[in-house]
A = this chain, B = another copy of it.
């Protein structure tokens, strides 16, 4: 029986796992799960009620990075984590930077202020928090640009989980029409290459109720 991924379209961590699983050619089904609804059956699977969760006949794995490491360990195939312990250290370092620091300084505000408030019909976005996140984004863009200029892809010459993690966050910001592409031709070219990967393409079909993506969202050349 194939694994099941509990997935929420506005969640960058759900997107990251889905891209990795497609990148590795894994067979899996998806359940769309809105964690803000706190669905009883889902809380039984994951009491802290966070997505993504990977459920197989043998295990329930919670947390996007724990899932990605688990997939790398258990499912084999070509690694997206780097080819040596030192390369893996570079990939992990960037994944944590993106999923923890970038998330807390940028993506989280966009999700909490714009998307969560639309989904829950509770309150309206705080513009000063959105402005703060866009200001924080600028220094992250410069850092990521520096990494791509130095390495080719983010962590090395190869497409790794670091690129997957960043593309998951950026795809969400781009869907919301707030990614400042003019700031960085380097990042725009990098994202265009990511978009062209078959593992990434399905992400572009996700829709977030209440928000329509900009026209360029699914275009490879934008």
With known contacts A48-B143, A143-B48, A92–B73 Cβ distance under 8 A: no
Interface majority SS on A: helix, strand, loop or mixed? helix
Q: Please determine whether B104 and A89 come into contact, CB atoms closer than 8 angstroms.
A: no
Q: Which residues of B contact A143 (CB under 8 A)?
A: 48
Q: Known contacts A62-B93, A66-B92, A96-B100; can you find 9 more A-B pairs with CB under 8 A?
A: A48-B143, A59-B89, A65-B92, A66-B90, A67-B89, A73-B88, A74-B85, A99-B100, A100-B104
Is B48 within 8 A of A66, CB to CB?
Answer: no
Question: How far apart are A24's CB and chain B's nearest CB, in angstroms?
Answer: 15
Chain B residue at minimum C-beta to C-beta distance from A86: B59
- Complex alpha-carbon distance, A96 and B98, angstroms: 13
A58 interface residue, CB < 8 Å from B?
A: yes
Determine which of B63, B92, B93 lies in contact with A93 in the assembled complex, contact meaning CB atoms within 8 Å: B63
Across the interface, do B99 and A70 meet the contact criterion of CB distance under 8 Å? no
CB-CB under 8 A from A70, the residues of chain B are 85-86, 88-89
Decide yes or no whether A28 CB sits under 8 A from chain B.
Answer: no
User: Does A97 touch B at the CB level, under 8 Å?
Assistant: yes
A69 at interface by CB-CB < 8 Å: yes
Interchain CA distance A143-B58 in the complex, whole Å = 24
Of listed A58, A59, A63, A97, residue having the most chain B CB within 10 A: A63
A100 cross-chain contacts in B, Cβ below 8 A: 96, 99-100, 104
